[in-house]
């Protein structure tokens, strides 16, 4: 197929539904990233207390984390097009209301906590939705290309969003949140223009001839903000054309304990399958080592009294590695087929961390950062697409939640450990610890039985769902 040879960006012209999905998802991502930096500035400006400002952020993260538990089940058991509309409307209302409060000068600490809780509920409930929709739109090797493009976009947005958000906040504190409210309307546009039947609609789950006769078969989770999957306990909804709302309702009415089993089925499915379980372990361990190293770099550069522009350039180079690597992702996966691209990324990071332990020169660290990121999007998109293709769609949201929570905890734990490691062990030992953690991930990638013989991207059309 020609699209296998073309760049990932060609998907936007080749697949109208993917383009419509991508526009809405990108719009929401831009708005969220711009508002994220501005919200940090806003909390301190309102509270004038770093402790209270930190508690507001903690409230938001905690509620988001708790909402994930039920959010994955909601995504799996309701009409996803309707959920997409609710997601867009909810973001628009929450951030639109915040904008009005700021303009009216009525925002106070209590309202900030309320906003933090509301935004956490919205993010946790709908956070896995767009990723759960993606494998219904892209199939086989297309899915890998789509994930590469999404991750490259996220790296680019993340690079420019912080300074742009801060600049808009300086212009007027309400502007970043107004932008986010308006950007969320892109999700409504996607809901209106995507033609593919989505989960919960008539025709969803029927064979798609474009996917080589596999259609729905082969959708599963992803490893993108962290890695997300679908969950299949083998026959959760045997008739995939049935109304999931009716099924969910009957299960809840018949036995509350059955609802709990369905709620945690994502975790039980992951534990049941060695390949998916090993992928989750690799991602968690890899992200833990990365998080400790990245946080340690930021803290050490500040402790060494480097000017702020040095820190900015260092992390800009870090992001440039991900962006360039994302643009070359399809080529990397051709040169390094199958698990080779994963092992290569882990090995490169291992070497760079060992070298980093020998120096605190900022420009050398920046160059090493660049190389650690060159293969990361190729690795994540490969593992994410494989996960999606192995996992039945009817529980995609719940497995996606398992990966979001597992991979998402790694940076939290890593950020906490980095400060202690620097304080009591020093720079070199901290980076060597990160190298050891990365080595563990590499050993799992090499030795785990479930990861042996995984197909190359070009063979993804033949990947079968697990039971």
Query: Residue 436: pLDDT above 90?
Result: yes
- Predicted pLDDT of residue 130: 92
Angle formed by the axes of helices 50-77 and 244-254, nearest 10°? 100
- Tell whether the torsion through CA atoms of 389, 391, 394 and 398 is positive or negative: negative
226 compared with 141, residue with greater pLDDT: 141
Please give the DSSP secondary-structure letter assigned to residue 198: P
Bridge-partner residues for 222, per DSSP? 228
pLDDT tens figures, 98-157: 999 999 999 999 999 999 999 999 999 998 899 889 999 998 889 999 999 999 999 999
CATH of 10-199, one of 1.10.287.70, 3.40.50.1370, 1.20.1250.20, 1.10.260.30: 1.20.1250.20
Q: Which residues contact 395 (CB under 8 A, 6 or more apart)?
A: 76, 230, 231, 232, 233, 236, 265, 266, 269
pLDDT band at 206 (very low <50, low <70, confident <90, very high): low
Query: Residue 429: pLDDT above 60?
Result: yes
Query: Residue 162: pLDDT above 70?
Result: yes
pLDDT tens figures, 169-202: 999 999 999 999 999 999 999 999 999 999 888 8
Counting Cα atoms < 13 Å in the Cβ hemisphere of 365 gives 24
Q: Do residues 379 and 226 make contact, with C-beta atoms less than 8 angstroms apart? A: no
pLDDT tens figures, 286-307: 999 999 999 999 889 988 988 8
- Predicted pLDDT of residue 190: 96
Please give the DSSP secondary-structure letter assigned to residue 106: -
Give the angle 236-237-242 at the CA atoms, nearest 5°.
165
Main-chain phi, psi angles of 222, to 5 degrees: -140, 160
Angle formed by the axes of helices 50-77 and 256-263, nearest 10°? 110
Query: Residue 4: pLDDT above 80?
Result: no
401 compared with 226, residue with greater pLDDT: 401
14 compared with 81, residue with greater pLDDT: 81
The full set of domain ranges for the chain reads: 10-199, 260-452
Encoded tokens for 142: 């297309």
Which superfamily does 260-452 belong to? MFS general substrate transporter like domains (1.20.1250.20)
Looking at the chain, how many residues does it have?
467
Bridge-partner residues for 228, per DSSP? 222
* Residues 374-410: b if buried by 16+ CB within 10 A, e if exposed: bbbbbbbbbbbbbbbbbbbbbbbbbbbbbbbbbbbbb
- Predicted pLDDT of residue 228: 37
Q: 260-452: same fold as 10-199? A: yes
- Predicted pLDDT of residue 413: 84
299 compared with 248, residue with greater pLDDT: 299
Please give the DSSP secondary-structure letter assigned to residue 228: B
Q: What percent of the chain has pLDDT over 90?
A: 55
Q: Do residues 47 and 112 make contact, with C-beta atoms less than 8 angstroms apart? A: yes
Distance in angstroms (rounded) separating the CA atoms of residues 214 and 316? 41
Tell me the range of 258-262, 337-341, 388-392 where mean pLDDT is highest: 337-341
Q: Do residues 120 and 59 make contact, with C-beta atoms less than 8 angstroms apart? A: yes
């Amino acid at each position: 197929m020609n699209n296998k040879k073309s760049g990932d960006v060609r998907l936007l012209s080749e697949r109208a539904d993917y383009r419509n999905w991508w526009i809405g998802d990108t719009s929401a991502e831009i708005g969220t990233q711009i508002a994220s930096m501005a919200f940090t500035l806003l909390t301190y400006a309102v509270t004038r207390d770093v402790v209270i400002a930190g508690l507001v952020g903690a409230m938001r993260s905690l509620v988001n984390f708790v909402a994930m538990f039920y959010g994955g089940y909601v995504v799996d058991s309701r009409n996803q097009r309707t959920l997409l509309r609710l997601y867009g409307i909810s973001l628009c209302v929450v951030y639109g209301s915040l904008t009005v409060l700021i303009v009216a000068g009525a925002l106070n600490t209590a309202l900030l906590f309320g906003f933090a809780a509301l935004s956490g509920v919205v993010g946790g409930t709908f956070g896995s939705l767009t990723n759960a929709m993606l494998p219904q739109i892209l199939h086989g090797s297309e899915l890998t290309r789509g994930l590469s493009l999404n991750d490259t976009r996220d790296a680019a947005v993340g690079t420019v969003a912080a300074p742009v958000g801060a600049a808009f906040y300086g212009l007027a504190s309400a502007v970043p949140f107004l932008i986010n409210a308006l950007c969320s309307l892109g999700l409504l546009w996607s809901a209106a223009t995507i033609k593919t039947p989505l989960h919960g609609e008539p025709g969803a789950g029927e064979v798609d001839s474009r996917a080589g006769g596999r259609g729905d078969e082969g959708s599963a989770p992803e490893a993108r903000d962290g890695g997300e999957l679908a969950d299949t306990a083998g026959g959760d909804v045997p008739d995939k054309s049935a109304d999931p709302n009716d099924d969910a309702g009957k299960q809840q009415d018949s036995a509350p304990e059955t609802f709990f089993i369905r709620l945690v089925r994502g975790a039980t499915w992951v534990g049941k399958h060695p390949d998916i379980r090993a992928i989750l372990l690799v991602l968690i361990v890899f992200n833990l080592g990365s998080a400790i190293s990245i946080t340690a770099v930021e803290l050490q550069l500040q402790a060494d009294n480097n000017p702020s522009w040095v820190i900015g350039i260092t992390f800009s180079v870090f992001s440039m590695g991900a962006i360039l690597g994302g643009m070359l992702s399809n080529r990397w996966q051709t040169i390094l087929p199958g698990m080779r691209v994963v092992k290569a990324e882990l090995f490169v990071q291992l070497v760079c961390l060992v070298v980093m332990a020998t120096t605190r020169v900022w420009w050398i660290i920046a160059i090493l950062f660049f190389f650690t990121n060159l293969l990361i999007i190729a690795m994540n998109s490969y593992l994410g697409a494989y996960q999606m293709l192995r996992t039945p769609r009817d529980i995609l949201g719940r497995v996606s939640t398992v990966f979001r929570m597992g991979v998402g905890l790694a940076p939290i734990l890593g950020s906490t450990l980095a400060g202690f490691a620097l304080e009591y062990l020093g720079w070199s030992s901290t980076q060597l610890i990160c190298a050891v953690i990365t080595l563990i991930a590499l050993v799992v990638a090499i030795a785990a039985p479930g990861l042996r013989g995984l197909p190359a991207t070009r063979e993804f059309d033949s990947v079968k769902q697990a039971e």
